[in-house]
Structure formats: C-alpha cells, structure tokens
Chain A
Amino acid sequence: MTIEVIGISVLWMFLFGYVIVASIDFGAGFFNASTIITRKNHIVNSVIQRYLSPVWEITNVFLVFFFIGMIGFFPKTAYYFGTVLLIPISISIILLALRGSYYAFGTYGTKGHIGYTLMYGVTGVLIPASLSTALIVSQGGFIRDTQAGGIELDYLALFTSPFAWSIVALSLVSVLFISASFLAYYSSVAKDKEALKLFQRYTWIWSFPTIVTAIGIIIEMKWHNPSHFEGLISLWWLFALSFVCFIASLWLLKKREFGWSFIFVVFQFALAFYGYGLSRYPYLLYPNLTIYDGFTNETMAYALITAFIFGFVLLIPSLYLVFKLFIMNKPYIQKRKS
C-alpha cells in the first residue's frame, strides 16, 4: 500500500465518520422541527435533547478534520475545490453557522424557543444538499476553463443535471434514514415507547427511498461517467453485500433488535461508501486530479500520519468515555428530566 492510498483511506474514514454522526444530528434536528408542526414534539423532544446536548460539537470537528486533512495530504485540492466551490461551500458554512448557534441559543439560552428549533431543523436538511455539491463536482463534468486561464463551476450544467439532483436526493433521504434508525435504537434504550414507535415508523418510511435513489445513481452513472460506471460494476459484490446489510437491518427492525438494526445500517452505508470510494480510484477530481499528482511531499505525509496516530491514541479513549457516559449509559438516557 502506497502512502497516497493510506492518506486517502484515512480521509475517507473521517468523511464516513462525519456522514454517520452528522446524519444522526441533521435528522434529529429535522424530526424535532417537523414534530413541532405535527404537534408530536413532546414525544421526541426528550430523547433528541439527551442525545444531542453532549455531542453536537464533536460532529462539527469531524468535518473540519476531513477538510484540513484533505489540504494536508492533497494540497492541490485546495486550488481546485477552493476556486470552484466558493459559493456552494460558503452557503454550507452559513447554514452550519446558523444551525450551530441556534442550537446553542435554543438549548442553553431561551429553552424551547420555536423559531430556533425550526431554524435548526430546516438548516439541517439544506446542509447535506449543499455539501454534496463537493461530491458531485468531484465526479467530473461540471468544471470549465475560463478565458483568463482559470477554472470555474458550470452552474447551468450543475442545476440541470439529473445526476446531480439524484445525489442531493440520496443525501437527504439517507440522512433521515440513518437518523431514524439510530434514534429508534436510542429510544428503545431509553424505554421511551412512544418515541420508539415514531422513529420505528420513520425508519421504515425512509428506508425505501434510500435504496431506490442509491440504485438509481449507479444506473445514471452509466451515462454520466462511463469509466466510473465500469469501476462500480467491477465492485458489484461490495454493493450486493451492502444491499444484504440493508435487508438484514430491516429484518432486525421487525424483530425489534434496534441496536443490531442500526449497526447493519452503518455496515450498509460503510460498504456502499467504501465501494464508491474504491470505484473512483485514483481520481480526486475527475479528470483533473488523481491522488498521485495532488499528493503532498513525503516528509509532510509521514509527519501527518504520525500526528494522526498519536492523536488517535488520545481520541479513542476520550470518545469511549463519551460513549460510556452518555450514549451507552442507561441511567443517563432514561432519566427524563428535561
């Protein structure tokens, strides 16, 4: 395994970590807001707050981690993605900023403020959409050269591309699916029957659109980027396994094994995510940039990997502590104070 591959694997791992924790977070905000409108807020409020309060900051760090690591390992991406994605990523930043601060204002400041909660929900669904532009653009086909010799994003092509919209749709529904599945598990630990019933239903509702859009994207790839499509097909067994995990998670959901059901949802996404990542090897940005021509100097790469290992020695026990105190801690979850 070359050092470039190690670098991209580390980053891909962070991106996947972000996809899972952020999905739970975004979805929770959305469910929280939507139940205000359907007046079922009292059912889910306690479960969502108990989970979110101690972990919301950690979610944000995953994103920054991925992003800083990307520039560290592949500095050329700063030029390509930075130049092209000024508007979509700025929109993401603004939404993230509103969301983060409204969460804090709503939770620690004026408790139960409906405006803050709604804002928190709405931004949560828009962020995955705006962030996924980065993924769409990296697929190739949306960047054109300017007359001045630079590059720019082809907005017309982006907004009229069914492929782009499919990815946005997938990111939205999978956020809701992952989140519902986790919150179903969490409310089962909390022994909160009503919340459990609701989240169980949400998991069923959002499971099918997730799988339909995912399959749709594989098919669309055939026209959008034939060589990438070939890559996807050659890894068909990974996607088949992912589908098996999907079926298993639904079966476990029916059997009321919520913890295992969520674990299989994570497996399902992990397999699909890594399969997708592998299939685009070696491109970071098709066809401009591969992981080989965008790689940093070797000294820095080794320094980064060393820092990464030391950092992880520090982080894993700390994250374990968070899990032990909040996420796996039955007395904490079940205490229904707020």
Chain B
Amino acid sequence: MESVEFSRYLTMLTLSVHVIFATVGVGVPIMITIAHWLGLKRQDEHYLLLAKRWARGYVISVAVGVVTGTAIALQLALLWPRFMEFAGQLVALPLFMETFAFFFEAIFLGIYLYTWDRFKNPKLHFYLLAPVVLGSAMSALFITSVNAFMNAPQGFTLVDGQLTNIQPLLSMFNPAMPTKVAHVLSSAYMTTAFLLASIAAFHLWKGNRHPYHRKALALTMKVALIFSIATALIGDLSGKYLAEYQPEKLAAAEWHFETEGEAPLVLYGVLTETNEVKYAIKIPYALSFLVHSNPTGVVTGLNDIPEEVHPPYFIHYFFDIMVTIGIGLTFLSLLYWVALSRNWSFIKTRAFRLLLVASGPLAMVAIEAGWWFTEMGRQPWIMNGFMRTADGATDSPYVGFMFIAFAVLYIILVSGTAVVLTRMFKKNPVERELEKDSIEQRSVAK
C-alpha cells in the first residue's frame, strides 16, 4: 500500500478516537454548568454533587482529548506536509485562535477543579465555568471552520500556482462554516446529554432508586431533547448547503444518479455493481423537498458530475446511520418527556430503561458516522477543487509502521479511560459521597 493510503487511515484513526473525547469535551462543560446552577438555585445537594462528579470524570476525558488533539495537530504536518505548506498560509489564523481558546479553557478548568471549597462566595466559583464553556465552544468553532474551509475554500486567488489576494477572515467565514459549526456544537451537546443520561439510566436499570439518579436522568433527557431537535433542524440546513455547494457529496449520500425534479429520498438499501439501488425505501419528492423546499425542484445527479471527482458511494450507509440514530433518539427523548409529564409508567420498565442506556453510545456512533460521511464525502479532494488528497500526503515510507504504533496507543488510551472511569465511580458511589458530605456539613455547623 502507498503512503497516501496509510496516511489517510492513520488520520482517520486519530480523528475517530479524538472526536469521542472532543465531543465530550465540548458537551460536558455546559451540562456541569446547568447542574451547578440548579444546585445553587434550589439549594439541592444532589445537583451540586452531579456537577462535581461529572467534572471529576470530565478531567479524565479532557486529558485523553488533549493528548489525541496534540497528536492530530502534529500529524497534520507529519502526514500531509504538502497540504499544510499550502493551506498554512490560508488557515493559520483559525488554527492559532483555536489554541488560544483551548488555552483559556484549560486555565479555567484547572482553577475550577481545584477551588471547590476556596471561595467564600460559591457564586464566584460557579462563574469560573463561563470561560470553560466559552473556551470549549470557541475551540470547536475555530477548528470546525478550518475543516469547513477544506470543504469550501475561499478568501484567496490562485494565479499560476501563486496565492494572492488573501483574506483570512473570508476563508474563515466560508459558506460551509455556519452550518458545520452549528451542527458540531448542537450534536456535541446532544450526544453528551444522552451519554450522561445513559449513566443515570444504567443505575436505575440496575435497581438503584436514589433520587440523585432520577434527577440526573430527567435533567439530561430534557437537555437531550432540546439539542436533538436543534441538531435535526441544523442538519436539514446542512443538506441544503450541500445541494448548493457540494452536490456530488449529497448525490453520493443519496445514490442520486439522474439529475431530475421530483427526486425521491433513498433510505437504506444496497447498491449493485451496475449502480442500481435495491431493497431501498424511496420516499417520493422528499429529496427535492428537503433541498429546495419544493417537491419538484431539480437535484443534480452523479451522472452529471465527472466520474473522477465522485466520492465513494458507500458514504450512503454512514449517512443512513447518522440520520436514523438522530431521528430515533429525538423520538426517544420526546417520548420520555411526554410520558414523564403525564405520569405514564412504561418508562419505568426495565426494557425502556435499557433503551435509554443504549442512547448515549448510539449518539456517539452517529457522531462517528457523521464525520466519516462528511470526510469521505469530499474525496478525492483534500481541499475541495484545489488539491487532491494524493498530492498532499507525505512520501515517507514509514507511515505503515506509525499506523500500527498509534493503533496500539489508542487501544491503550481508550481501554485505560474506560477502566479508570468505571473504577473511579464504582469505588465511590453516590450514596457514600452524599453521606460523607452531610457529615462534613454537620461538623461545620457544630
């Protein structure tokens, strides 16, 4: 295999691992903030403990997020030196600002974690979360804008291979950026909410009846519902963006070959070697409607796009996985909320709780599928329309070895994180911690 293949696989591997921790890294601060705020407002120690315990687990995931993030930052230049040489002149600004945002977040996260008992006014300690939430959202914004730039490059003129007329802000605020950033943020909040809901649901499923877990589940599912709806709406806007700027990606995702009006939406199915779609569910007019808000709008098909720039057709499966899970989880959280407010009791059955337990991991699968879809969907380009992936890669013959080394590393990191997190919380259950806190408070009161 060639270096370019290995470079692609290694980048995919690093990013697939990093995105797990990055998603949690963006999402958890907002959940901590909500819990901490509720705890202060209602004087409820359960919510305060939620914030404390989430923060404690969060540190582990931040640590792994930092190291995998460092890995991808350096790998960009190690694996794609030609690309970085070229694009470094165009996207250095958001890359640079991303590290600032992360720096900001890291500083205040450190302070927040180590000052639980150090401020006389508990509100001061709570306010430390603002820069953490802001920093994590900003770093997601900046880094996503770099990725958006690779999909929709602009803000420069290329004359005989020379870059002129460079406008850093214009390349940052490219057409792909608004929908991408919004989708990344809302899906991160959604996924994290489902992940934390999974934990609470797991305890309830095991038969724990502590109000702590019930409050946790109710809170996280509410947040999850709000962000699921937001994610779906933004996802729709992303589809409209694709139709206008990257029709080949949308067409490949939908197996849409003929340019036509009244285009159907293709769900599931398989593609034969002669590019025939089999066993699929076709919803008439739906694709045209999604793209143009008009059932007869014309949608560009793959046959009208030169074959050498077709993305791989299998991205359809990733697209299906993402959308199916997204819609499924939206309904799940909606159902939970309606049932909770009407006191329907089926949500307390073990079977339903098992569904809730599965929701977090499923949401993470959707995140991975979504990223694979968007990244493989812009093949063969590394910078859409300007540089092909094969021209950006390193020619070093050692990438294969590095792939193996990093694969081993990530196995250690991911399994280590799983082991440490489970042990941390198993050894120190909620009941014991609440008891310890109340003993401390009583001794203070005396």
Residues of A within 8 A of B (CB): 53-55, 57-58, 60-61, 63-65, 67-69, 71-73, 75-76, 78-83, 85-87, 89-90, 92-94, 96-98, 100-105, 108-110, 146, 148, 150, 152, 296-297, 299-300, 303-304, 307-308, 311, 314-315, 318-319, 321-322, 325-326, 332
Contacts and interface: CB of A to CB of B under 8 A. Distances in A.
A307 B70 contact: no
Interface of B is mostly: helix
Contact of A67 (B73, B111, B401, B402): B73
A89 B396 CA distance: 13
Contact of B88 (A71, A101, A303, A307): A71
Contacts of A102: 416
A300 B399 contact: no
B168 A96 contact: no
B114 A148 contact: no
B78 interface: yes
A73 B84 CA distance: 12
Contacts of B405: 90, 94
A124 B113 CA distance: 24
B100 A75 contact: no
A89 B169 CA distance: 31
A332 to B, nearest CB: 8
Given A101-B413, A311-B97, A296 B70 contact: no
Interface of B: 56, 59-60, 62-64, 66-71, 73-82, 84-90, 92-93, 95-100, 102-104, 106-111, 113-115, 118, 131, 163, 166-169, 394-396, 398-399, 401-402, 405-406, 409, 412-413, 416-417, 420-421, 423-424
A144 to B, nearest CB: 13
Most buried by A among B78, B79, B402: B78
Contacts of A73: 92
A300 B71 contact: no
Contacts of B111: 54, 321-322, 325
Contacts of A57: 62-63, 66, 106, 109-110
Nearest to A108: B59
Most buried by A among B60, B98, B113, B131: B60
Contact of A300 (B82, B89, B131): B89
Which 9 residue pairs are nearest across A and B when measured between Cβ atoms? A72-B92, A75-B88, A104-B63, A82-B81, A109-B420, A78-B84, A82-B77, A97-B67, A311-B100
Contact of B70 (A60, A75, A82): A60
A147 to B, nearest CB: 11
A78 B90 CA distance: 14
B406 A90 contact: yes
Given A68-B95, A68-B96, A78 B416 contact: no
A97 B70 contact: yes
B141 to A, nearest CB: 14
A100 B64 CA distance: 7
A98 to B, nearest CB: 7
B290 to A, nearest CB: 37
Given A58-B103, A104-B60, A303-B93, 7 more contacts: A54-B113, A57-B110, A58-B107, A68-B92, A101-B413, A104-B59, A300-B166
B90 A300 contact: yes
B64 A104 contact: yes
A205 to B, nearest CB: 31
A328 to B, nearest CB: 14
B81 A75 contact: no
Most buried by B among A83, A86, A146, A322: A86
B96 A304 contact: yes
Most buried by A among B60, B102, B103, B416: B103
Nearest to A88: B78
A319 B417 CA distance: 29
A68 B99 contact: yes
A100 B60 CA distance: 10
B167 A81 contact: no
Contacts of B82: 79
22 contacts: A54-B110, A57-B66, A57-B106, A64-B69, A71-B77, A75-B92, A76-B85, A79-B82, A86-B78, A87-B402, A90-B75, A90-B406, A97-B409, A97-B413, A101-B63, A104-B59, A109-B421, A110-B424, A296-B89, A307-B97, A314-B104, A315-B103
Nearest to B412: A98
Nearest to B165: A299
B103 A65 contact: yes
A86 B6 CA distance: 13
Contacts of B62: 57, 104
B70 A64 contact: yes
B71 A93 contact: yes
A87 B75 CA distance: 11
Contacts of B56: 108
A121 B103 CA distance: 25
